[in-house]
Amino acid sequence: MESVIEPLFNGILAAFEPQNFGMLVLGCIAGLFIGAMPGLGSVNGVAILLPIGFLVPPTAAMIFLAALYYGAMYGGAISSVTLGIPGASTAVATVFDGRPLAQAGKADLALTTAAVASFIGGTISVILFTLFAPPLADFALKFGPEEEFALMILAFATFVGLGGDDIPKTIFSILIGLVLATVGIDIITGKPRFIFFDISGFLHGIKFLVLAIGIYGIGEMLWTLESTGGKVQVHKVDGAFSSLGKNLRRIKEYLGATVLGGFLGYFIGILPAAGATPAALMAYGLTKIFSKDPDSFGKGNIAGVAAPESANNAASTGSMLPMITLGIPGSPTTAILLGGMIIWGLRPGPLLFTEEPEFVWSLIGSLYIANVVTLIFNLSLIPLFVRVLTMPFTILAPVIFVLCVVGGYVPTNTLHDVWLMLLFGFVGYILRKLNYPVAPAVLAIVLGPLTERALRQSLIGAQGDAMIFLERPLSAFFIGCAVLLLLYPAFVVFRRNRAKDKAASEG
């Protein structure tokens, strides 16, 4: 415990250094805005703005992106309440009660509640993060390539077991991400692989950013253009913020739901496949079950706004835990952050704590500060955001397209990558329309090179004996969990069929 306090204190101080603090404030505001815009969420913001990392040192860049991630979680609630459409998928559950509250003329109450709940959920999760991260990193120091590989398999298995998407399509998405990561020069044998049509642009491989911006920039814009038809419908919302104090005092009513959401969100956020959206939905469901008055949910109960908002913020911090300590991202957004860290020359994983303590603790410290800063900005800027939200999508879309093109070009200075990005965006959009999940592919292209290296190192070390993964207790444990997760959907189907048979025989 004492060992945590001192570095944490230094980290918080570091977050107040002018450059870091400036980036933090910028990140919070950008995040609030991005989260609030329908069609843009944290993952889109981080993917499109990652090239900012070239401008400032890695610490400041990471603080900026983490603050953006955080801000986007707050921001998602704004459009859920005022427009009735979630600003990001993570804020879906906020619509259930936020919308009725807004229709009843209590949008200000809903927004204040969302902000305060986000703050509490965020704070709970940051404290949990601070307590869990160092011991987990210590533990993970014992991992060899065998455990690393087994852990990656476990991460992918969570998508199949818990992702809730069509299973063959999920598997396809994971595998194509891994295959795309193999394009280029093989690091171990030095052989060029998958140089399609002998185009030399493939020699430097396919950078994860090309796929990430393609899918979350171009593809997402196409998706939003189609679903909104280029317009955003403005709904009637009244928001008077004179009653801020009165609204804040109602915290008693939703404190329990908020704390529940915070803990739940944190632990669900750690899982790579789950993350903020299911965490928010589960928090909503559980709060409703435990509530004394479950019927009032969906009709404007403020606890129904507080629980999911607290959970999605907590999940965003939770998903950073495996990224920092194990090098495995807990969400698509952290997958992109992880890729960014690799570009900046940091190797995410257990060694980060011992090799780059300053970076890690500044990041953790900045999370505490970002939480406070976002709360303040959120409460004071809501009237502005509500107005900006009515901006027609045809203004935002071309600006984002142009930013995507520039962002795709800058890392490698080739237009080849930009064409590829456009292709990925379009194909990703079509696949998404057919219910292929796209997040596993982005996670896989980031983890691909690490997974392959771990696999080949282990196999070389074991003279080609694949049983090595089962002989080492830890990796055997991870593989066992992965197998259970892979079998879980089959178990669900089996149970459902049996229930159906039973019902049929009784009926």
Q: Does 103 bind another protein (CB under 8 A)?
A: no
What CA–CA distances, in Å, run from 163 to 265, 424, 438, 500? 16, 22, 11, 24
Closer of 101 and 307 to another protein (Cβ): 101
Q: Does 199 bind another protein (CB under 8 A)?
A: no
Q: Does 395 bind another protein (CB under 8 A)?
A: yes
Q: Does 55 bind another protein (CB under 8 A)?
A: yes
Q: Binding residue for another protein (CB under 8 A) from 104, 188, 470, 492?
A: 188
What residues contact 226, with CB distance under 8 A and at least 6 apart?
none
What residues contact 493, with CB distance under 8 A and at least 6 apart?
none
> Where in 453-492 is the site for another protein (CB under 8 A)?
455-456, 459-460, 464
Least separation in angstroms between residue 171's CB and another protein is 4
Q: Where are the alpha helices (DSSP H) in 92-203?
A: 92-103, 107-140, 145-162, 167-182
Count residues near another protein (CB under 8 A): 66
Stretch that binds another protein, among 66-74, 283-291, 340-348, 431-439 (CB under 8 A): 431-439
DSSP 422-479: HHHHHHHHHHHHTT--SHHHHHHHHHHHHHHHHHHHHHHHTTT-TTHHHHSHHHHHHH
Would you give the binding string for another protein spanning residues 221-250, x where CB under 8 A is met?
xx--xx--xx--xxxxx-------------
Q: Does 19 bind another protein (CB under 8 A)?
A: no
Task: Specify which residues 185 forms β-bridges with.
Answer: 192
Q: Does 504 bind another protein (CB under 8 A)?
A: no
* Residue pointed to by tokens 């009784």: 506
Q: Does 191 bind another protein (CB under 8 A)?
A: yes
Q: Binding residue for another protein (CB under 8 A) from 4, 26, 179, 244?
A: 179
Rounded to whole angstroms, the Cα distance separating 86 from 76 reads: 6
Q: Where are the alpha helices (DSSP H) in 229-298?
A: 244-249, 251-270, 276-290
* Cα Rg of the chain (Å, integer): 23
Least separation in angstroms between residue 494's CB and another protein is 15
Closer of 73 and 237 to another protein (Cβ): 237
Q: Does 176 bind another protein (CB under 8 A)?
A: yes
C-alpha closest to that of 305 among 110, 78, 83, 121: 110
Rounded to whole angstroms, the Cα distance separating 153 from 146 reads: 11
Task: Specify which residues 193 forms β-bridges with.
Answer: 184
Burial of 456 (0-12, 13-18, 19+ CB in 10 A): middle
Least separation in angstroms between residue 56's CB and another protein is 10
Q: Binding residue for another protein (CB under 8 A) from 21, 344, 419, 488?
A: 419
Least separation in angstroms between residue 387's CB and another protein is 4
Q: How far is CA 410 from the centre of its chain?
A: 24
Q: Does 21 bind another protein (CB under 8 A)?
A: no
C-alpha closest to that of 302 among 12, 10, 94: 94
Stretch that binds another protein, among 281-289, 299-307, 418-426, 495-503 (CB under 8 A): 418-426
Q: Does 203 bind another protein (CB under 8 A)?
A: no
Stretch that binds another protein, among 244-252, 357-365, 409-417, 494-502 (CB under 8 A): 409-417
List interacting residues with another protein (CB under 8 A). 54-55, 166-169, 171-172, 175-176, 178-179, 182, 186, 188-189, 191, 193-194, 218, 221-222, 225-226, 229-230, 233-237, 384, 387-388, 390-392, 394-395, 397-399, 401-402, 405-406, 409-410, 413, 415, 418-419, 422, 426, 429-431, 433-435, 452, 455-456, 459-460, 464
